[in-house]
């Protein structure tokens, strides 16, 4: 059974809320707990406010085994049957992100 993204986020939020409530009942050190949670609540509020304007990348970069010494870029695609333009967009995004990370790691961009 595959859950829609929207319900998955709601389930995660509910589980996080339950966990937070359980830990909020009687914290050992109240002042640091309040500060930490004020920061978390501020970030959650900002993410909730801007969630439609923020575009998170679906590009994943990881390093292969040290013997091979290569970086692999992947794009997670949410639907089957992409148009040619959508496919090109994903390929260009993977290439640009890979080049950016390569430059950050080595200081040069080698084709």
Query: Whole-angstrom Cα distance, residue 41 to residue 54?
Result: 18
Residues 26-37: what's their mean pLDDT? Answer: 88
- Predicted pLDDT at 42: 92
* Predicted pLDDT of residue 56: 58
Mean pLDDT of 44-73: 73
pLDDT at 97 over 90: no
Confidence of residue 1 (pLDDT cuts 50, 70, 90): low
Rounded-to-integer distance, Cα 106 and Cα 103, Å: 5
CA distances from 31 to 17, 23, 25, 38, 63 (A): 20, 14, 14, 11, 41
Average pLDDT of span 26-48: 88
What 8-state DSSP symbol labels residue 52? T
Q: What is the pLDDT of residue 16?
A: 87
Q: Whole-angstrom distance between the N-terminal and C-terminal Cα of the chain?
A: 42
Residue located via tokens 């695609």: 77
Give 60's strand partners: 74
Residue 2 has what pLDDT?
63
pLDDT at 79: 62
């Amino acid at each position: 059974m595959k859950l829609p993204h929207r319900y998955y986020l709601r389930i995660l939020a509910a589980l996080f809320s339950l966990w937070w409530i359980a830990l909020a009942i009687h914290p050992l050190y109240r002042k640091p707990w309040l500060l930490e949670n004020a920061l978390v609540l501020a970030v959650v509020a900002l993410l909730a406010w801007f969630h439609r304007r923020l575009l998170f990348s679906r590009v994943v970069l990881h390093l292969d085994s040290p013997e091979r010494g290569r970086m692999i870029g992947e794009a997670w695609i949410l639907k089957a049957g992409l148009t040619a333009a959508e496919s090109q967009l994903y390929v260009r995004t993977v290439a640009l992100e890979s080049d950016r990370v390569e430059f950050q790691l080595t200081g040069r961009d080698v084709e």
